[in-house]
Amino acid sequence: MTQGIEGKVVLVTGGGSGIGRAIALTFAREGSAVVVSDVSGEGGNETVRLIMQNGGEAIFIQCDVSKAVEVQGMIQKIIKTFGQLDYAVNNAGIAGIHKYVADYPEDIWNKVLNINLTGVWLCMKHEISQMLSQGGGAIVNIASIAGFAAQRGASPYIASKHGVIGLTKAAALEYAKTGIRVNAVCPGITATPLIENARSEVPSEINKIFSGETIPMGRIALPEEIAGAVIWLCSNAASFVTGHALVVDGGMIAE
């Protein structure tokens, strides 16, 4: 068991697929009650079913993180159901399409920024208000190695993930004395539907990265390997860690 995770209430946005699902399942195994949130009812309900099948506790709340009213309603429902929110993992995100800056369509630019960056801020806004009233909590935002280094053809994704790291540091400073810790996990390439769907669209040199060939450890990550870092950042073992962006990428940005 990881220190301090048992008996807690955790929210995972985008918990209906990939990394979010692995995070939700890992928290449930460690004894937390899990709020699985997603814009997709099908994926979110399936994650809840998987948790309950293993004897864990979970509920599903449908929410589009880019809609302020829905985010506020989600946090209210969590408090009505569980009375508290100990940890929040702001994971929901989309990739956008592969186009260079001058050709990028404005509607897709806005969509990526609204979900990946404004969505994280909206969630934090309401999570932090609740955590302040309880006297503490821990937040982990899922950024990316795209928050440190750029890649061609993904400008809004790169900008949003750089933004998430900045936002994480800003909030960590503002609430450092309140018992709320705010950190980010920055996954490298991870085996999820997001990467599978993007593969058909991107040029061969990016597909080489997606296959793991060029990654120092010689493979891409499993979603459970990202979940491990998230759990650690929430746990008592990380009690003095705030404002940190933890890279989990098999050595990719060390090169």
43 binds ligand NAD (CB under 6 A): yes
Q: Does 163 bind ligand NAD (CB under 6 A)?
A: no
Q: Could you give the angle at the alpha carbon of 73 between the alpha carbons of 69 and 74, nearest 5°?
A: 120
Q: What is the CA radius of gyration of the chain?
A: 17
Among 87, 104, 157, 175, the one annotated catalytic: 157
Count of other CB atoms within 10 angstroms of residue 203: 10
87 included as an active-site residue: no
Residue 115 within binding range of ligand NAD, rule CB under 6 A: yes
Integer CA distances (angstroms), 110 to 65, 91, 100, 104, 119, in order:
14, 18, 15, 10, 12
Task: Choose the stretch contacting ligand NAD; rule: CB under 6 A; options: 27-35, 59-67, 172-180, 228-236.
Answer: 59-67
Q: CA-to-CA distance for 141 and 116, rounded, in angstroms?
A: 10
Q: Does position 17 bind ligand NAD by CB under 6 A?
A: yes
Would you count residue 190 as binding ligand NAD (CB under 6 A)? yes
**195 is an interface residue for ligand NAD by CB under 6 A:** yes
202 makes contact with ligand NAD (CB under 6 A): no
Say how many C-beta atoms besides its own lie within 10 A of residue 29's C-beta.
18
Binding site for ligand NAD (CB under 6 A): 13-14, 16-20, 38-40, 43, 64-66, 91-94, 115, 119, 142, 144, 187, 189-190, 192-195
Task: Catalogue the active-site residues.
Answer: 157
